[in-house]
A and B are shown apart, each in its own frame.
Chain A
Amino acid sequence: MRCTDMGRGGMDGQCWKLLLAGWFLVIGLQASGAALELGGYIGLENRVFWHPSPIDGVPDFFTGSIFGQMEVAQDMEGGGSLVFTPFLRWDPKDTERTHGDIRVLKWEQSFGCVSLRAGMDKVFWGVTESCHLVDVINQTDILEQQDYEEKLGQPMVNISYAFGDQTIEIFWLPFFRERRFPGSEGRFRTPFPVDTDLATFSASREEKHSDLALRWFATAGDLDIGVSWFSGTQREPELRPVPGKGVLAPHYPLMQQIGLDAQWVQDSYLLKVEYLHRFDNGDPWHAAVTGVEHTLYGLWETTADLGMMVEYLFDSRGKSATSTFDNDLFFGVRLALNNTGDFTCVTGPLVDLDTRASLFRFEMEGRLSEQWKLCVNTYVYANHDKGESFYSLRHDDFSEVLLKRYF
């Protein structure tokens, strides 16, 4: 299990200590008679892969895993609250995918217009659906879902000040969370496996380097806008081949970025834009995602809504972009039945306009009962030629069923 890797002594090495601290906190609060809120879920994931893997040792067709998350929260007298949310996944086939994380372990409190938060938490910035450009604070947990929306908890101290319709906030981010990669027996792995023990950093203090971020956001009638700045270690590693070892080593450079996210709502239309400018690490580059979402309400006199999204993705680095979305178009359709089961389905392709390489997603979820939820997802990676970022995933088309039990 990843948390036991004390070799690097980094964030993951501290993981066990933090988990213990969290549990002592829970026990202590319970002993003091404080009313704790407990919640969470346990899930079962079954995946079926459409093609056998060309790599030896990697499962050909079926994988299964169990995952769970618990949330413990305590509202304190005086207005603050403590939240602890550990997460665990056990994958019998891929030992690297078996991992635990503290998603949240924080204290937060508001004093009038000022809000304070300290500890590990997740922060989301952004408005677009196909790609979250400006969202930079948390490290992506790529071992989780293939939509890359799951994040690792990030240690932070955050102060927000709200005035009128505007808010300004500052983040101090000590400790960097390294990205975890699938193991040599895991699906979605690169042809040469990634050895995270060989990770290098541009920062001299490596993962103990503190990062800084600032954000201003405001609402002006139909417009929601946000501007952000970040300085520190880039969350996406550059994977560099290690000569003679047949593995890849992640390298985390230092960088600065300025981001803009804005959304304008007009009737049943949402106009969205995200813009990112990154510099201080080699040649500066910029990227943007812009799109429109239109919703048809009450289809055929029922309570169902149909949302249609079109987004264009651009990256000035062209084909050398690490994110692969340099000149791409996304079409999405979201059907929401608005019934008691809250059944929702999102589907659509993301197509590279130059190469026709595409990423097709189908995601469906609904509540089976008040405790059980079902998700069915399918991902297809099509037409990816050698040199494309998703080339290594071309055999990894899959469908999965997730069953979650909430408590």
Chain B
Amino acid sequence: MSCTWRKSIRSTGAWILILFSYGIVSAARIPNKGLAVAKEADARDLGWKDQYADVEMILKNRQGEVSVRKMAAQNLEVAGGGDKLLIRFDYPKDIRHTAFLCFTHKLAPDDQWIFLPALKRIKRISSHNKSGPFMGSEFAYEDITSQEVEKYTYAYQGEEWFEQALCHVVVRTPIDPKSGYTRQLVWFDQDAYRYRKIAYYDRKGDLLKTLVYSGYEKFHDRFWRAATMHMVNHQTGKETVLNWTNFTFFNGYQPVDFTRGRLKSRS
């Protein structure tokens, strides 16, 4: 009698072990849907090689006062690595010809330089302050530098309608502890996997900012670019609007155009 009892325990135990193992293996094979959505969005925007755009940045504070910044942004797509960004400021006039160069890296800190036209000086700056404001706006440095898939971990939240588009909602958590955010909620539309909205949560976990993309246009039949990005800071009441115009692709930019020696040239 005891022999059969022990035998049945052993066989039950074996089944539990088998089922448990199967469960683990299955879970490992179930794709992270959030990561899959992020990767699809990234894959849909590959092959643009280089990009030029004029950007107008409008800053509004709680009292309704408005300031304007104008700049030209050049991007270089880097295969397998982070993209390169070169911004030349145009307005206000006292910062005209100031330039900002950034080499984004997937996991290492970005390399950043600034060109100060009054002194003709090129300064390497620390990119440690990724959560700091870019040009006094509501966009942080980490918001404007290239969004690499590897910088976050992902979880799928669900589907939601946003502005007549059915979207995948993905929770993404920055891997870098220096990030100003504990998590972000990203709305990707299901049509073309374009960014529609991002909600940013600060280090305390409270909703800090919301970014809405609008005015999407298709270039070269492949690349979607938003004409307007509207960032609202719910805690301070300040807003920043980025208006993007004159997108051009395949300009023939080379890596040498994105070196610190070229920062001082006019274009």
Chain A residues proximal to chain B, CB less than 8 Å? 39, 41, 73, 75, 81, 83, 108, 110, 112-113, 115, 122-124, 126-127, 149, 160, 162, 165, 167, 169, 217, 219, 221-222, 224, 263, 265, 267-270, 295, 297-298, 303, 305, 338-340, 342, 367, 370-371, 373, 404, 406-407
Contacts and interface: CB of A to CB of B under 8 A. Distances in A.
Contact of B265 (A108, A269, A270, A303): A108
B129 interface: yes
Contacts, number: 103
B136 interface: yes
Interface of B: 59, 61, 67-68, 91-96, 109, 111, 119-126, 128-129, 131-133, 136, 254, 256-257, 259-262, 265-267
A340 B256 contact: no
Contacts of A222: 111
User: 3 tightest CB-CB pairs across the interface, nearest first?
Assistant: A406-B93, A297-B129, A268-B128
A224 B260 contact: yes
A394 to B, nearest CB: 28
Contacts of A167: 259, 261
Given A115-B261, A217-B261, A219-B260, A338 B132 contact: yes
A392 B181 CA distance: 55
A112 B68 contact: no
Contact of A303 (B61, B68, B119, B133): B133
A369 to B, nearest CB: 9
Contacts of A305: 129, 132
Contacts of A217: 260-261
Contact of B119 (A124, A127, A169, A373): A124
A295 B261 contact: no
Given A83-B266, A162-B256, A342 B119 contact: no
Given A224-B260, A340-B67, A367-B94, A75 B266 contact: yes
B128 A115 contact: no
A112 B133 contact: no
A406 B259 CA distance: 29
B219 to A, nearest CB: 24
A113 B256 contact: yes
A340 B261 contact: no
A110 B59 CA distance: 35
Contacts of A224: 124, 260
A123 B256 CA distance: 20
A270 B136 CA distance: 23
A406 B92 contact: yes
B93 A340 contact: no
Contact of A123 (B92, B120, B266): B120
Contact of A122 (B120, B261, B262, B265): B120
Given A162-B261, A298-B131, A41 B126 contact: no
B132 A297 contact: yes
Given A217-B261, A219-B260, A267-B128, 9 more contacts: A73-B266, A81-B266, A167-B259, A222-B111, A340-B61, A340-B67, A367-B94, A404-B94, A406-B94
A255 to B, nearest CB: 23
Contacts of B256: 112-113, 162
A338 B261 contact: no
Nearest to B65: A340
Nearest to A103: B120
21 contacts: A39-B93, A41-B94, A108-B265, A108-B266, A115-B261, A124-B121, A127-B124, A167-B259, A221-B111, A224-B124, A265-B124, A265-B126, A267-B126, A269-B126, A295-B128, A295-B129, A297-B128, A298-B131, A298-B132, A340-B136, A406-B93
Given A108-B265, A115-B261, A165-B259, A338 B121 contact: no
B112 to A, nearest CB: 9
A115 B260 CA distance: 13
B128 to A, nearest CB: 4
Contact of A370 (B61, B91, B131, B254): B91
B129 A268 contact: yes
A219 to B, nearest CB: 7
Contacts of B121: 124, 126
A339 B136 CA distance: 5
